[in-house]
Amino acid sequence: MNAPNPREEQLIDDNPFPRPSADPWELDVEVVSVPTPAIDESMRLLDAHLAEDGPEGVVLAVSGDYGTGKTHLATRLLRKARSLRSDDARYAYVGAQEGGFHTLYRGNFLATFNRDDVIRHIREYYAHIVADSLENTGFPPEVTRRLRELELDPQHFVTQFNLAESTFLQRLNADLAKVTRNEEYGTALMLLLRNDLADQVWEWLRGEEPDPLLRERGINSRIDDEPRALEAMGVLALLYRGRSRHFVLVFDELEKVLPSSSRPPAETIAAFRALTDLATRQGIFLALCGLPEFLEAIGQNNAEHAITATISTDDGLSEEQVLGYIEQSMAATSYGRGLGPFSADIVRFICLLTGGNARRVVQICQSCYRMALESRRVDRSMVRRAAKGRSEVVDERTVRKQIGAELQKQAREYHTDHPVGGEDGPRAPYWVPVYDTGCAIFVTDSVMDEADAERLIANARAVRSTAPRSRTALIVNGFLAEPVRRDLEERFSEPPLIYARERFSEDFEFLLRRLTGPLEAAEGETAVIRANISRLAVAQTNAQRYMEELALQVESMRDTTERQYAALARDLQGLDPRRRHRPLPDHVEAIFTEAVTELEALTGLDTALSEMFGAESPGSISGVLLRLHNSEAVRTVGVAKLTEAVVTAFRTAVEEWYGQLDGPPSADRLERLTVFCRAFDTVLEDLPIYQLNTLNDLLPRPSSRTAVIEQRARSRRQIDMYALLSELGHRVRQAFSGAGPGGLHGH
């Protein structure tokens, strides 16, 4: 949503290649697309579905590796639905995040189906129920028409004519029984139409405990687990479909919700099946997109999950398809028809390097086009530079540091720059001993050609010659050209691992298990048990060392924070007095106060620090160390404190913006505020704030009475930090503008 607008980029350098390659929020922007078997089959299914008026729905599973065009395909489906009249089709896109279906529901799903839209659709649904009941009762057809088109308020109409509201509520519950037998949803959705209860109902829909006012009306359960979250998704999907002929619902990146590392609980699988069954029965076109892992997690039996078709996007683009894509893209530039600065030979080279991976092709073309602005000609050196520059490359020291941290976390003994077989033996960047042999892990930057690959293969061959039972692996910090990928897969014990920050920990753990597993299994079960016990002892030692390091880190964080606040105070003193003494409006101040207060309370770090020198534990740091006893908790606390600093900086920017106003904000000033809000959203996307919702599970029970009271208060609130922070920019923008864009399209 916060990605750069491709149209704005064209104003700068006429660059027709989008960045990113697919953005489901930019449906107004025309995007060049080439036909592929996956796209053709998906569009065929959607066209056939849209041509039918029957109740049968479609469940489409789209799987493929990173960058193969899953999101682009999803966007094509959304554009198709958008092209129809609003009465014929509605559509919604839900991007997944880490944390399971419950986290997905409370975060991105409810952000898509926002409160105002939900209320509007309930009123529409209710109006149709009332209008249906009036058919053949003597009411003029004009009245029922005006009800269906919401020209008349259905609630006011029912009250005015003293109609039986309970009958309509029963009808609503009967409709929702197609999804669930829980009548609480029908009651809650009707209560959402009441201004005095709307806040309480929305909090219940977000997963909070039902308010006493809701309990009085029969709402006693809570949406607090995976099955209930999937059930609630089905309810809202059915509501949004309403009386329209079709509803296209897309879930993207589902591997984040259904990882393949562990089989989901049976109740989650059953609820997922209920959601797909609902789509089939109620005429919903449901597209499920993700890495192949998400299909592995739910099982390959499509019939079991009511999946109509499974489509793979892994087939790379052919040379002809890339040529066609570039020609279509060039038509919108000053080059006009043809390949522009590209040539057939360069296109062939791009396809060779990328293996036809759609995202890599687009990214390389985007960079090469910019590099060729002056020369108006793309050469092979530009393609190589673009390939390297577009890969996620970090400093090699960062990669090596993370490898060492992961090995320590897994309690693995390891050596760096290790001479295998003796001082004169070949060197392994990382050597993990396993009984009388071991595993050699090599690290390299981009591998572009056979010369780069042969150098790495020679190193691996030398290690295996010296230690025949050893196993080898390669971590690539950069771009891996397709022509040499297969050679590396064949010459190393495991396929090369491409370094990516956000998933490296999980990828490396999986790689290490595959490397060491065969060697450990060969020694027998008893030896494996002894090795595991030994690693547990090492892990305990590592944990103690982490706690000691944490004490220093906490003290450093405090010093840094004090210096930052001191600098901020000096800056504020230099501001114009009129600005300095004009606080934010109360309702805006409350938005920021809620976010900062919840972040501070989430970790309890400030309380723990004060206890270090308090009466309950004088001179002791044990309170801090017990609350933050593992590296995962340390990282999550770091995310919380960094997020707190970002929110504070955002508040300062908004306060200065507000101090410059002489009256109601003009359109230009509101646009300036929008820039701040987008900047905040962009920074937030790079922070793993989904981890904050798990922090309470990582921190053990506090020992002091003050901390216990504080934790009990937090457990009662159960604030969803992901949703709170994700909505912060939107809430601030809406607080000053009085309106905001709806989350669901097509009406």
Please report the pLDDT score of residue 323 as a whole number. 92
Residue 589 has pLDDT above 60, yes or no: yes
Does the structure show a pLDDT above 70 at 28?
Answer: no
Q: What mean pLDDT comes out for the span 62-88?
A: 83
pLDDT of residue 332: 81
| Angle at which helices 525-573 and 631-659 cross, to 10° | 20
Is the backbone of residue 340 left (phi > 0), alpha (psi -120 to 50) or beta? left
**Any residues with CB less than 8 A from the CB of 435 and at least 6 apart, and which?**
519, 520, 523, 527
pLDDT at 527: 56
For residues 442 and 536, the model is more confident at 442
What value does the mean pLDDT take over residues 667-685?
A: 81
pLDDT the model gives residue 287: 92
Residue 472 — pLDDT band, cuts 50, 70, 90? very high
* pLDDT band of 14, cuts 50, 70, 90: confident
Which of 192-206, 569-583, 642-656 has the least mean pLDDT?
A: 569-583
Higher pLDDT, 98 or 556: 98
Is the pLDDT confidence value at 342 over 90?
yes
Other Cβ atoms closer than 10 A to 513: 11
* One-character DSSP codes across 365-412: HHHHHHHTTTT----HHHHHHHHHHHS----HHHHHHHHHHHHHHTT-
Nearest to 622 by CA among 536, 554, 557: 554
Domains of the chain: 6-22+32-113+230-312 (3.40.50.300), 116-226 (no CATH), 319-390 (1.10.8), 396-523 (3.40.1350.10), 549-737 (no CATH)
**At residue 593, does pLDDT exceed 50?**
yes
Confidence of residue 739 (pLDDT cuts 50, 70, 90): very low
Task: Give the C-alpha separation, 439 to 444, whole Å.
Answer: 17
pLDDT of residue 445 exceeding 80, the answer is yes
Summarize the confidence of residues 704-709 as an average pLDDT: 40
Measure the CA–CA gap between 383 and 385, rounded to whole angstroms. Answer: 5
Q: Is the pLDDT of residue 640 over 50?
A: yes
Residue whose tokens read 């980029």: 9
Surface-to-core class of residue 277, CB atoms within 10 Å of its CB (0-12 exposed, 13-18 middle, 19+ buried): middle
Q: Which of 318, 410, 380 is nearest to 36 (CA)?
A: 318
pLDDT per residue over 186-223, tens digit each? 888 888 888 888 889 999 998 889 999 999 888 888 98
More confident residue, 119 or 181: 119
pLDDT score recorded for residue 372: 86
pLDDT at 537 over 80: no
pLDDT digits (tens, 9 = 90+) for 15-24: 788 755 455 6
511 or 244, higher pLDDT: 511
**Confidence check: pLDDT of 582 > 60:** yes
Peptide bond into 20 cis (omega under 30): yes
Please compute the mean of the pLDDT values over residues 156-162 and round it to a whole number.
Answer: 81
Over residues 482-495, the mean pLDDT reads: 88
Instruction: Identify which has the larger pLDDT, 688 or 380.
Output: 380
Do 223 and 105 form a contact (C-beta atoms < 8 A)? yes
Query: pLDDT > 70: what percent of the chain?
Result: 73
State the residue for tokens 């509520």: 169
Beta-sheet pairing, 415-419 with 427-434? antiparallel
| Residue 239 predicted with pLDDT over 90 | no
Provide the whole-model pTM. Answer: 0.63
Average pLDDT, the chain: 77
pLDDT of residue 224: 86
Model pLDDT, residue 637: 76
- Tokens (6 digits) for 705: 């009475």
168 pLDDT exceeds 90? no
In this prediction, residues 324-336 reach a mean pLDDT of: 88
**CA within 13 Å, CB half, 382:** 22
Confidence of residue 615 (pLDDT cuts 50, 70, 90): very low
pLDDT 10s digits, 287-312: 999 888 887 777 656 666 778 888 99
Question: 154-158, 399-403, 611-615, 634-638: lowest mean pLDDT where?
Answer: 611-615
Residue 35 and residue 72: Cα distance in Å, rounded? Answer: 12
Q: Quote the pLDDT of residue 715.
A: 38
Q: Say whether pLDDT at 696 is over 50.
A: yes
Euclidean distance between CA atoms 447 and 426, whole angstroms: 21
Note the pLDDT of residue 442.
Answer: 94
Using pLDDT thresholds of 50, 70 and 90, give the confidence band for residue 623. Answer: very low
- For the segment 139-163, the average pLDDT, to the nearest whole number, is 82
